[in-house]
Amino acid sequence: MTSPVLPLLSVRDLVVRYPARGHSGIPMTAVRGVSLEIAPAGIFGLVGESGSGKSSLAHAILHLSPPAGGEVLFRGQDLAAMKPSQLKAARRNIQLVFQDSLASLSPRRSVLQTLLEPLDHFRIGNPATRAEKAAMALETVGLDPALRHRYPQELSGGQKQRVALARALVAEPDLIIADEPLSSLDVSVQSRIIELILELREKLGVAFLFVSHDLSAVQRLADTVGVMYLGKMVESADTDTLFERPAHPYTRSLMAAVPVADPSHPRPAVLAGEPPSPLTPPSGCVFHMRCGDKIPICSTVVPNETFVCGETGMCEDSRRFKTISHRVRCHLWNVTKT
Ligand SMILES: Nc1ncnc2c1ncn2[C@@H]1O[C@H](COP(=O)(O)OP(=O)(O)OP(=O)(O)O)[C@@H](O)[C@H]1O
Ligand code: SF4
Ligand SMILES: [Mg+2]
């Protein structure tokens, strides 16, 4: 019997709250009890509309904005209980590529200075070997090491994105949190970054939390997908299951927005309007104001997380000979099962 693999990262019931601003006096809850797991060398794709809390979750995993509740376990160890030296080691092992690459690439630092910064900070190698490590990281992401003397403003969008990935890689992490690494790149560059991420997982065993609006990129890359709406994880499953049998009306609407080759194929309605403000979230199901499938209970009662595949949450997929876990927060699944 094989022993179950210990998750590399476990996030449990994470809550992120920002202090009240202006006259409202109300703190803003951006992430409302989100849980997820990432296996060693796994790729977890996180999707959801703008403002759903993806970046807030990514930052809270690293305790950049300390969570208001919940736990983050890295290799089974709670980040909140770590001594400063242990937290520093964990931060070396979990690297974040910021959504805005300018946030991680200072215009006043050359590419080489940018890459040396984490090597110096985490005391990796010695001053003589650091420049060599930096050049190797550039080669790993497919950039000519001669670019190391350039400044970010002298690089293309795709090159900047690769430098941001190289900066994460020099620390030799086990996990990279890549927050929208494809945004603002053209399709051919996006495709090359996707290939690169798959290669880094394959060759170096790096795991990824891949945050993206782009469902087709997530489908190509991820093993597991989580869908966020207004701070909640409303559905999660392995990638094939989620794309073949989406269970939550929100996930189906997101998929309906992706262009398909055969427009005559019946599809759910594309989402209209904007999500409500997280400052004043609706009662009941957070999605009820935009849901075409809602039933009376939806506007008053918060749906619990339900396993789509029976009491244990696991079901056999005979076509792929594997056991899958598929979770959803929607009353329709509770009603169906009772
Ligand atoms: N530092 C902050 N202070 C106060 N509110 C914040 C802060 N950062 C984010 N928010 C708010 O938290 C909510 C979630 O924002 P977040 O950036 O996590 O969403 P997102 O899913 O990453 O969006 P996008 O896809 O646009 O990047 C939004 O309503 C946002 O305005
Ligand atoms: S709980 Fe109700 S409103 Fe929410 S997604 Fe399900 S059917 Fe729609
Ligand atoms: Mg974001």
pLDDT band for position 186 (50/70/90)? confident
**Is a pLDDT exceeding 90 seen at residue 65?**
no
Ligand 1 nearest atom to the CA of residue 65, by list position:
1
Higher pLDDT, 207 or 324: 207
pLDDT band for position 185 (50/70/90)? confident
**Is a pLDDT exceeding 50 seen at residue 338?**
no
Which ligand does the CA of 271 lie closest to?
A: 2
CB 332 less than 6 A from any atom of ligand 2 = yes
Ligand 2 nearest atom to the CA of residue 292, by list position:
8
SS3 state of residue 142: coil
How far, in Å, from the CA of 53 to the mean position of ligand 1? 6
Range 207-227 average pLDDT:
95
CB 236 less than 6 A from any atom of ligand 1 = no
CB 52 less than 6 A from any atom of ligand 1 = yes
**Is a pLDDT exceeding 70 seen at residue 319?**
no
> Per residue, what are the HEC states of 273-285?
CCCCCCCCCCCCC
Looking at ligand 1, which residue's alpha carbon is closest to its atom 10? 30
CB 298 less than 6 A from any atom of ligand 2 = yes
CB 288 less than 6 A from any atom of ligand 2 = yes
Which ligand does the CA of 61 lie closest to?
A: 1
Tell the CATH superfamily of the 9-230 domain: P-loop containing nucleotide triphosphate hydrolases (3.40.50.300)
For residue 207, what is the DSSP state? Answer: E
Which ligand does the CA of 213 lie closest to?
A: 1
Q: Tell me the whole-structure pTM to 2 decimals.
A: 0.92
Q: Which of 21, 54, 218 to mutate to test the pocket of ligand 1 (most atoms within 8 A of CB)?
A: 54
Looking at ligand 2, which residue's alpha carbon is closest to its atom 7? 294
| Contact present, 15 and 67 (Cβ < 8 Å) | yes
CB 16 less than 6 A from any atom of ligand 1 = no
Looking at mean pLDDT, say which of 18-22, 36-40, 157-161 comes out highest. 36-40
Chain segment 259-271, per-residue pLDDT in tens: 665 656 555 556 7
Chain segment 107-134, per-residue pLDDT in tens: 999 999 999 999 999 999 998 899 999 9
Looking at ligand 2, which residue's alpha carbon is closest to its atom 1? 330
Looking at ligand 1, which residue's alpha carbon is closest to its atom 26? 50
Q: Is residue 10 exposed (0-12), middle (13-18) or buried (19+ Cβ within 10 Å)?
A: middle
70: left (phi over 0), alpha (psi -120 to 50) or beta: left
CB 29 less than 6 A from any atom of ligand 1 = no
For residue 30, what is the DSSP state? Answer: E
* CA pair distance 140, 291, nearest whole angstrom: 45
- Alpha-helical segments (H) within 43-156: 54-61, 84-93, 101-104, 111-121, 127-140
> What pLDDT sits at residue 216?
92
CB 193 less than 6 A from any atom of ligand 1 = no
CB 276 less than 6 A from any atom of ligand 1 = no
Question: Which residues, in sequence order, are CB contacts of 238 under 8 Å at separation 6+?
Answer: 223, 224, 225, 322, 324, 325, 326
CB 278 less than 6 A from any atom of ligand 1 = yes
How far, in Å, from the CA of 50 to the mean position of ligand 3? 7
**What percent of the chain clears pLDDT 90, i.e. is strictly above it?**
69
* CA pair distance 42, 18, nearest whole angstrom: 30
Residue-range domain boundaries for the chain: 9-230
**Is a pLDDT exceeding 60 seen at residue 2?**
no
